[in-house]
Amino acid sequence: MNSLRILDTTLREGEQTPSVCFPGHVRTAIADELDRIGIDIIEAGHPVVTQEIRSSVSSIAQRGLNATIGAHARSLETDVDLALECGVGFLGVFYCVSDWRLNHLDRSLSSAIDRIAWVIDYAKNRRPNLVLRYTPEDTVRSPFSNAVSAAEAAVQAGADIISVADTTGHMIPGGERSMYDMVSRLREALSQRGCEPEIAVHCHNDRGLAVANALDGIRAGASIVDVTVLGLGERAGLTDLASLLAVLAADFGYGERWQLAQLPKLYRLVSRYAGIPIPANQPVTGSNAFSHCAGVHTQAALANPLHYQSLDPSLVGRSAEIALDHMSGLASVCHALESIEGRSDLELAQQVLVEVKRIGQSGRTVDLDELQLIVNSIELPEQSAPRGLGRTECASVSSTR
């Protein structure tokens, strides 16, 4: 597991999200943030798409980042030439191997394999130290023997990495279509042919299973995983970067590997310029990801956060929060009052709770600024001066909600 590398393709696959097009300075900023987090490979774009992408890939490649900078190319000489002229150290080429796609292109499998081997040989001859990945497009729905034959030819031509692409989010963990089985079988079949490439997995999220399938691939020996910020990408997108890294750090022994506290900043940046809000309930990076709301939950979480959270928010530089709305109880309000007033007056808390529930029923939460306004509206100025005198502290009853 220690050789695992993360390939972020926000700047390539992420821009395949409808209407997403990052300007050059933002593309550079995203690459810098990914590098700060410790991402191993940044797929910076498909240079043939536009002149702007071409110059952005080139400038990111010259930036001296720790990450390896990569580009994407069809199995065409022109695409390879443009990518290599950008100065990238990593190139991903793809070509389909399924019978239906080949029929559509009026190509035989053998001529497709010839094309794949030719383009890899060409790229490697032009740049011998290039790290080259070949992707049999829609690997998992293609006939297995086709994928193996193409991968074998690719490795023999010089490919370092074979990517197992779940192009349509077809795979399901634990079933007949598991990524674990697919990666295991492919590694075994290639090994029997004397080929030991690195295996990458590219998991689309059409069924909401991209993170689970990526973990399944890792478990079977894949050493590169493709991700994007916010899971951007075609249709329902790809494996979400933050969700995957949080699980790997918390549960798979990668705690110190990445600077996860930088993730919220990266997500805000990408969200803003992609024009796609971060869903409030997005794992790890959503505004509600570490918020406790219901009275029973907050009361228990205030005593011990582990009662109602299995992922430590400090892992990604965040802290647990209490949301105040109609679901709140006295413990939540007392806690919030302590944080703004330095005290928790039971009688005041009971009056505030009535207001909080009233506002919550209109579909809003009460933040600390509004809480202060509620306190001010309840208390006359002269009441708030002698704190604690003749009043009951919340602490004596907060455990009873």
CB of 67 to Zn ion, least distance (A): 20
- Catalytic residue, chosen from 297, 307, 326, 335, is 297
Identify which of residues 168 and 350 has a Cβ nearer to Zn ion in the complex. 168
- Dihedral, CA of residue 178, residue 183, residue 188 and residue 189, to nearest 10: 90
Identify which of residues 8 and 13 has a Cβ nearer to Zn ion in the complex. 13
Identify which of residues 13 and 43 has a Cβ nearer to Zn ion in the complex. 13
Identify which of residues 13 and 33 has a Cβ nearer to Zn ion in the complex. 13
Rounded alpha-carbon distances, angstroms, from residue 189 to 12, 35, 196, 326: 30, 35, 10, 58
- Dihedral, CA of residue 295, residue 298, residue 300 and residue 303, to nearest 10: -140
Residues with Cβ within 8 Å of 310's Cβ and at least 6 positions away in sequence, in order, are none
Check residue 191 and report its DSSP letter.
H
Identify which of residues 13 and 345 has a Cβ nearer to Zn ion in the complex. 13
CB of 282 to Zn ion, least distance (A): 20
CB of 236 to Zn ion, least distance (A): 11
Q: Is 255 helix (H, G, I), strand (E, B) or coil?
A: coil
CB contact at 8 A, 281 and 289: yes
CA distance 131 to 158: 9
Rounded alpha-carbon distances, angstroms, from residue 271 to 22, 74, 93: 11, 28, 28
Only one residue has tokens 């996860």, namely 260
CA 270 to chain centre: 11
CB of 166 to Zn ion, least distance (A): 9
CB of 114 to Zn ion, least distance (A): 25
Identify which of residues 139 and 146 has a Cβ nearer to Zn ion in the complex. 139
Q: Is the dihedral of CA 379, 382, 384, 386 positive or negative?
A: negative
Which residues form the interface with Zn ion (CB under 5 A)?
Answer: 13
Length of the chain (residues): 401
Q: Is 297 a catalytic residue?
A: yes
Rounded alpha-carbon distances, angstroms, from residue 54 to 30, 57, 62, 209, 354: 16, 5, 13, 32, 59
Kindly state the helix (H) or strand (E) to which residue 188 belongs, with its residue range.
helix 179-192
Q: Is 1 helix (H, G, I), strand (E, B) or coil?
A: coil
CB of 43 to Zn ion, least distance (A): 10
| Cα Rg, the chain, nearest whole Å | 26
CB of 136 to Zn ion, least distance (A): 13
Task: Report, as residue numbers or ranges, the catalytic residues.
Answer: 297
